[in-house]
């Protein structure tokens, strides 16, 4: 399929708009979480439950619809799951019970995960050599949405006594507006064995062991990222008695990450081992945060950790898809399995540790994980370089 520059530019714009709204919901959820669980009657120990349920949904849905997108086309799947995201956002925004809230955020998770993995796979398929660079650029819009959402919500709360619910309602309505932008575009489909033979049977993936390792690295990375972002408001409010700074911490985290992703997106060549080095830096920052008791210093460390995170998600995703380009949707389904399970497990564990043993213990436990992922990626990168 021959795709014009005009098509690719419109497609890139559409992808950036979709991912921006995913980030907008994600960042707003992080600030709204504490208010929502207090209003709807959740126990403090279970502060991680809504996050975990959303990430369970994130982990399961792409496993089904990632391979489907390889067969019927990623554009159709993206449009369907934009609608799913909209339904979940409205259900959450108008929820008046804990059960309805949990159902809503789970549906949002399904829409978010399939949209994000399908957009990433479609970008890597369509943009060719610019795939990884454009993926970094697209993901920077996720960060931009996550930066603006807490600030907008905080301003609405302070200025108009708005409810935490407005974040989900705004996200749903604005996401629906991306469909007309996406409709006239065309997305490249890399022909794989399943498509060529017209069968629904799956062929064995190449480099299965490495793919599994990268999925585990994504499990660790997203789990750590989720703890850093979702518990920023709780740490500042409950541990450091600085509730007014929660929105700024979340925005600084995502803002620094967004800046880093723009920088990586503009590079002609991404430096080798950048993903592993970033994970090592994350570990060092988290250890320092475990002993920090000054709220403004903690804001700096949230920003620094966001910057350290910037190239990790796109780097792991690109490495996995490159191994099996003809099955990009299926691979992104597996990558989102790591994304969802990591985001489900580590926040739940961290929430319990934070409640029972305090901030220092929770951060020290968390600091172990990034270095493990970094060592694996470093080893595999150097082994691949030696083979070349």
How many whole angstroms separate alpha carbon 306 and alpha carbon 258? 8
CA distances from 136 to 27, 74, 258 (A): 18, 19, 9
Of the candidates 305, 133, 122, 315, the residue with the CA atom closest to the CA atom of residue 227? 305
Domain of 307 in residue numbering reads as 5-387
pLDDT value at position 202? 53
Is residue 181 within 8 Å of 82, Cβ to Cβ? Answer: no
- What does the pLDDT read at residue 198? 45
d(CA 233, CA 51): 14
The reported pLDDT for the residue numbered 50 is: 87
Q: Give the Cα separation of 339 and 334 in Å (integer).
A: 9
Half-sphere exposure of 81 (CA within 13 A, CB side): 30
Q: Report the distance separating Cα 111 and Cα 88, nearest Å.
A: 8
Return the closest-CA partner of residue 114 out of 54, 52, 61. 61
Per-residue pLDDT 10s for the chain (388 aa) are 456 777 889 999 999 999 999 999 988 998 898 899 889 987 766 667 888 888 888 888 988 898 888 888 899 999 999 999 999 999 999 998 989 999 999 999 999 999 998 999 899 888 877 777 788 889 899 999 988 998 999 999 999 999 999 999 999 999 999 999 999 998 876 654 444 444 444 556 677 888 899 999 999 999 999 999 888 888 898 889 998 898 899 889 999 999 998 888 888 777 778 999 999 999 999 999 999 999 999 999 999 999 999 999 989 988 888 887 777 788 888 888 898 888 888 888 888 888 888 889 999 999 999 999 999 999 987 776 554 4
Alpha-carbon distance 136 to 104, whole Å? Answer: 29
Token representation of residue 76: 């159709």
Count: domains in the chain: 1
User: What is residue 196's predicted lDDT score, i.e. its pLDDT?
Assistant: 46
Please, what is the end-to-end C-alpha distance for the chain in angstroms? Answer: 32
Contact partners, residue 51, CB within 8 Å, separation at least 6: 33, 226, 230, 343, 344, 347, 348, 351
Helix (H, G, I), strand (E, B) or coil at 240: coil
Nearest to 75 by CA among 132, 21, 18, 2: 18
Question: Rounded to an integer, what distance in angstroms lies between the CA atom of residue 47 and that of residue 150?
Answer: 18
- The enclosing domain of 222 has a CATH number of 1.20.1250.20
Residue at token pair 């299965």 = 208
């Amino acid at each position: 399929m021959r795709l014009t520059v005009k098509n690719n530019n419109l497609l890139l714009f559409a992808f950036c708009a979709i991912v921006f709204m995913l980030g907008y919901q994600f960042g707003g959820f992080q600030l709204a979480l504490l208010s929502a669980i207090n209003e709807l009657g959740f126990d403090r120990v279970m502060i991680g439950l809504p996050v975990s349920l959303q990430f369970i949904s994130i982990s399961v849905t792409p496993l089904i619809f990632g391979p489907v997108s390889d067969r019927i086309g990623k554009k159709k799947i993206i449009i369907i799951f934009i609608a799913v995201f909209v339904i979940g956002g409205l259900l959450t925004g108008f929820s008046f019970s804990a059960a309805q809230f949990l159902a809503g955020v789970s549906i949002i998770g399904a829409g978010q995960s399939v949209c994000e993995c399908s957009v990433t796979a479609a970008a890597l398929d369509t943009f060719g050599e610019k795939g990884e660079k454009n993926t970094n650029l697209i993901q920077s819009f996720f960060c931009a949405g996550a930066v603006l959402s807490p600030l907008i919500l905080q301003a609405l709360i302070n200025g108009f006594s708005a409810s935490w619910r407005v974040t989900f309602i705004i996200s749903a309505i604005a996401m629906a507006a991306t469909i007309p932008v996406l409709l006239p575009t065309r997305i490249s489909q890399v022909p794989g064995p399943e498509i060529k033979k017209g069968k629904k049977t799956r062929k064995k993936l190449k480099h299965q062991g490495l793919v599994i390792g990268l999925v585990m690295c994504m499990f660790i990375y997203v789990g750590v990222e989720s703890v850093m972002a979702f518990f920023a408001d709780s740490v500042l409010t409950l541990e450091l008695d600085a509730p007014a700074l929660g929105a700024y911490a979340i925005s600084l985290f995502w803002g620094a990450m967004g800046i880093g992703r723009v920088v990586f997106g503009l590079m002609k060549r991404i430096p080798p081992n950048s993903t592993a080095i970033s994970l090592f830096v994350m570990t060092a920052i988290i250890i320092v945060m475990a002993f920090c008791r000054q709220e403004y210093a903690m804001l700096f460390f949230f920003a620094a950790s966001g910057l350290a995170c910037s190239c990790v998600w796109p780097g792991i995703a690109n490495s996995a898809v490159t191994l099996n380009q003809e099955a990009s949707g299926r691979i992104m389904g597996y990558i989102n399995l790591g994304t969802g399970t990591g985001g489900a497990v580590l926040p739940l564990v961290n929430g319990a540790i934070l409640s029972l043993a305090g901030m220092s213990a929770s951060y020290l436990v968390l600091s172990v994980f990034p270095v493990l992922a970094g060592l694996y990626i470093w080893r595999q990168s150097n082994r691949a370089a030696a083979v070349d």
